[in-house]
Amino acid sequence: MYPLFWVVVNKHSIFSGKSEEEICSMIESDPSLFLLVPIKSKEICFTAVRQDPSNICYVKNPCEGLQLEVVSQIPEMIANITKPTDNVKRLAVSKGYHTLQYISDKLITSDDRTHCSSRYDLIFEAFKKATECGDENYVLALVPNLLKDTQFLKAFKKEINNNVILQHLTDYTLERYETFDC
């Protein structure tokens, strides 16, 4: 994942002969230097992301800790993480329901569901937060394919039992009926 740090010996590099700590302090003073670092150790990556969360784009396969660091600062940055872990997804949604739009796989994927009882819990949490703001249709608009999935609808009715889902079911049924009416 992260290479072990070794001192750069290229005499033309500004990092030549610098220790990991020295490179970290250089990045702290100028986060744009992270792009030029030839060997990005774990500590260097964490330093760069703490200074500028958008540096996550330049880290291949970031560990969960680095992903959590980024999302805890700016939840919307989850859009720049290729494969966010379930914990990172949960953190992003807990920071704001609108971040669900930036998560490509909105289902909980891990087999270890100790934090949740259903693979749809991200959506349920976002829906509950959106309901507090009167914006529940926003969340449902982000998962149109699930509104046709009977397993999701059953789980939604069991977990939420809200009139909004009944309205979506009615709309879906009418939409299907109208397409067969031709």
Helices (H), the chain: 20-29, 42-51, 64-73, 86-95, 121-132, 136-141, 150-159, 163-181
Query: Of all residues in the chain, what percent are helix, strand and coil, respectively (each to 5)?
Result: 65, 0, 35
% of the chain exceeding 90 in pLDDT: 51
Q: How far apart are CA 5 and CA 118, in angstroms?
A: 41
User: What does pLDDT average to over the chain?
Assistant: 85
pLDDT at 7: 54
pLDDT tens for each residue of 118-157: 899 999 999 999 989 988 889 988 998 887 787 887 888 8
Q: Is the pLDDT higher at 84 or at 180? A: 84
pLDDT at 49: 96
Largest distance between two CA atoms of the chain? 75
Residue 4's pLDDT band, with cuts at 50, 70 and 90, is: low
When pLDDT is averaged across residues 33-54 and rounded to a whole number, the result is 92
pLDDT at 23 over 80: yes
Q: Is the pLDDT higher at 7 or at 99? A: 99
6: CB partners within 8 A, 6+ apart: 39
pLDDT at 90: 96
By mean pLDDT, which of 28-42, 97-111, 156-170 is the weakest? 156-170
pLDDT at 123: 93
